[in-house]
Amino acid sequence: PVLYDVTSAHHIAEFDHPEYYNSCTMKSCCFAGDKDQYVLSGSDDFKLYIWEVPDVTSRKGNLIAKTHFVLGAQ
């Protein structure tokens, strides 16, 4: 998933994980946490991936390759 600032042409962050796979459709994506500090997305491997959103005042274009948590059957 990619997070954009609607007032900018550049993205804030791109979220990834070695096992995360999204073939052709976004399964689901939403924000969570008391301050919307997490991005959650389903994957083709039937797992839920959770990433922490970076501070939006940091530089644009961050690649977030480390998940905060992965939920799914082993």
CA angle at 40 for the pair 73 and 3, rounded to the nearest 5°: 145
Nearest to 40 by CA among 67, 59, 5: 67
pLDDT per residue as tens digits for the range 22-73? 887 766 789 999 999 999 998 888 899 999 998 765 666 788 888 887 888 5
The pTM (predicted TM-score) of the whole model is 0.78
Domain ranges of the chain: 2-72
